[in-house]
């Protein structure tokens, strides 16, 4: 019998999504505002807690962009960004005509190294005479960052923090949901994320006033006149009421999704426990509770008898298992070759050794057994 291909992270519906979409059609709310958008925002506010306000948007990338607009980032400014991430974390800095300054990761969380962050701030002040305008740490693969340390430095230099929690939906740090520590926090509901709206995102805001300002920029910066009157450049970034219907349905099983990702992580940890040269990436501190959005392994060819991550990827692909190399660091991307970067070797080392493994709600215990056995066979050969 031929097995179905095991994919990295597939969208998974609760069965409640169509009810909310049907409601939208029945009431003719087929527009980028409406009851589903409002109710989805309430669900998200309840989920993140901390008295935060949430604005639903067309993408996580749009959320990062609007936060930068609200923070006043513009031409000639610099923004400190985590280098080890997806390009959507830093691209909006360039949309604003500003320059990203890339900072490498520390090896425990794979996220922004707080010591290098402080070096970067000092270096940029010395080089340009002014402070970076914002700091964008990332929760890569759902792993919390050393956010207390990052916030301490950011507060000391009075630089606002924009947390890219696109991959960290529901991850917790000392019990608190990530994305609620900085001035703004970003969520993504793209098709492959922890929950989906097909495509979509949201911005976690500190206050009602901040939320109103984000909504204003997300809806073409319209002034309160009977005709269209503009004093700022705006954007069309609001979430569709249809997409928000999917989001409301997804919120009914968000906790189950997270529990399943953690369950799959436990199976990988157990399965690879006796495999030399394969290490599952887990939280380095007990006060960090990742959502394990994508489970990742580091492959050390010195210990696997010479099998490296690329050979493993190709062999697993032949065995009908989708895996993917880790994010290629931004400071190694041709498009960012001229951006300043503070590098310690951690992200480049991981990029040359790491793989993402299938992790979504569609991955069964049997699938994990199959993947672990396949890896063991590949290494033994
Ligand atoms: C997915 C992702 C984004 C962008 O979210 P979209 O909803 O796809 O625009 C931003 N940052 C990171 C780290 C991501 O993984």
Structure confidence at residue 2 (pLDDT):
65
Predicted pLDDT at 236: 98
Same domain, 196 and 269: no
* Whether residue 215 sits in one domain with residue 245: yes
Q: Is 229 exposed, middle or buried (0-12, 13-18, 19+ CB in 10 A)?
A: exposed
Best mutation site among 190, 246, 359 for ligand 1 pocket (most ligand atoms within 8 Å of CB): 190
Considering the domain architecture, whether residues 267 and 309 belong to the same structural domain is answered as: yes
Most informative mutation of 66, 86, 326 for ligand 1 (most atoms within 8 A of CB)? 86
Task: State whether 154 and 274 are in the same domain.
Answer: no
Containing structural domain, residue 319: 254-380
Average pLDDT over the chain reads: 97
Residues 34 and 174 in one domain: yes
Distance 295 CA to ligand 1 centre (A): 17
Among the candidates 202, 221, 251, a domain finishes at 251
* Tokens found for residue 344: 């310690």
Dump pLDDT digits (tens) for 40-64. 999 999 999 999 999 999 999 999 9
Q: pLDDT for 214-261, tens place per residue?
A: 999 999 999 999 999 999 999 999 999 999 999 999 999 999 999 999
Give tens-digit pLDDT for 285-302: 999 999 999 999 999 999
Judgement on whether residues 191 and 335 belong to the same structural domain of the protein: no
5 in any annotated domain: no
Q: Indicate if 238 and 310 belong to the same structural domain.
A: no
pLDDT at 217: 98
Handedness of CA 196, 199, 203, 209 (dihedral sign): negative
Provide the number of structural domains found in the chain.
2
Check whether 380 has a pLDDT greater than 90. Answer: no
Last residue of a domain, one of 228, 251, 274: 251
- Residue 345's pLDDT is 98
Out of 212, 231, 251, a domain closes at 251
Q: Are residues 131 and 234 in the same domain?
A: yes
Co-location of 243 and 177 in the same domain: yes
Q: Is the CB of 36 under 6 A from ligand 1?
A: no
How many angstroms does the Cα of residue 164 sit away from the middle of ligand 1? 8
> Which atom of ligand 1 is found nearest the CA of 164?
11
Residues 193-224: tens digit of each pLDDT: 999 999 999 999 999 999 999 999 999 999 99
Whether residue 66 has pLDDT greater than 80: yes
Residues 258 and 271 in one domain: yes
**Confidence label for 360 from pLDDT (cuts 50, 70 and 90):** confident
Most informative mutation of 90, 167, 187, 328 for ligand 1 (most atoms within 8 A of CB): 167
For residue 113, report the distance from its CA to the centre of ligand 1, in Å.
20
pLDDT band at 1 (very low <50, low <70, confident <90, very high): low
> Do 116 and 38 share a structural domain?
yes
CATH number at residue 282: 3.90.1150.10
Kindly report the pTM of this predicted structure.
0.97
Question: In terms of domains, do 224 and 187 share one?
Answer: yes
Instruction: Print burial letters for 130-164: b (CB count within 10 Å at least 16), e (below 16).
Output: eebbbbbbbbbbbbbbbbebbbebbeeeebbbbbb
Task: Grade residue 114 by pLDDT with cuts at 50, 70 and 90.
Answer: very high
CA 364 / ligand 1 centre spacing (Å): 26
Instruction: State pLDDT tens for residues 122-164.
Output: 999 999 999 999 999 999 999 999 999 999 999 999 999 999 9
User: How far, in Å, from the CA of 207 to the mean position of ligand 1?
Assistant: 23
Residue 69: pLDDT above 70?
yes
Q: Is residue 49 included in any domain, yes or no?
A: yes
Q: How far apart are CA 48 and CA 181, in angstroms?
A: 11
Mean pLDDT of 342-360: 97
Q: What is the mean pLDDT of residues 325-331?
A: 98
């Amino acid at each position: 019998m031929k097995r179905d291909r095991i994919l990295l992270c597939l969208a998974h519906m609760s069965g409640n999504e169509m009810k909310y979409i049907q409601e939208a059609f029945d009431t003719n709310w087929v527009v980028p505002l409406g009851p589903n958008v409002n109710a989805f925002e309430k669900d998200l506010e309840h989920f993140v807690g901390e008295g935060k306000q949430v604005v639903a948007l067309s993408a996580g990338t749009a959320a990062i962009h609007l936060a930068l607009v609200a923070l006043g980032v513009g031409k000639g400014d610099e923004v400190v960004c985590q280098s080890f991430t997806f390009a959507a974390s830093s691209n909006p800095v360039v949309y604003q005509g500003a320059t990203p300054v890339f900072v490498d990761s520390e090896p425990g969380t794979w996220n922004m190294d707080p010591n290098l962050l402080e070096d970067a701030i000092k270096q940029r002040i010395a080089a340009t005479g002014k402070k970076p305008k914002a700091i964008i740490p990332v929760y890569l693969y759902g792993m919390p960052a050393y956010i207390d340390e990052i916030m301490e430095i950011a507060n000391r230099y009075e630089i606002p923090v924009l947390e890219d929690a696109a991959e960290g939906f529901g991850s917790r740090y000392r019990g608190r949901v990530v994305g609620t520590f900085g001035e703004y926090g970003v969520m993504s509901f793209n098709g492959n994320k922890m929950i989906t709206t097909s495509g979509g995102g949201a911005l976690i805001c500190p206050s009602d006033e901040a939320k109103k300002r984000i909504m204003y920029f997300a809806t073409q910066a319209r002034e309160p006149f009977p005709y269209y009157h503009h004093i700022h450049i705006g954007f069309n970034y609001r979430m569709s009421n249809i997409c928000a219907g999917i989001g409301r349905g997804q919120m009914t099983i968000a906790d189950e999704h997270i529990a399943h990702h953690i369950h799959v992580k436990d199976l990988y940890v157990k399965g690879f426990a006796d495999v030399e040269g394969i290490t599952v990436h887990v939280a380095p501190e007990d006060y960090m509770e990742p959502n394990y959005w994508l489970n990742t392994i580091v492959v050390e060819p010195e210990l696997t008898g010479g099998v490296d991550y690329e050979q493993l990827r190709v062999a697993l692909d032949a065995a009908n298992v989708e895996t993917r190399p880790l994010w290629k660091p931004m400071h190694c991307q041709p498009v960012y070759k001229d951006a300043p970067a503070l590098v310690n070797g951690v992200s480049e080392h991981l990029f040359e050794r790491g793989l993402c493994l299938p992790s979504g709600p569609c991955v069964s215990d049997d699938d994990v057994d199959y993947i672990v056995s396949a890896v063991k066979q590949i290494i033994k050969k």
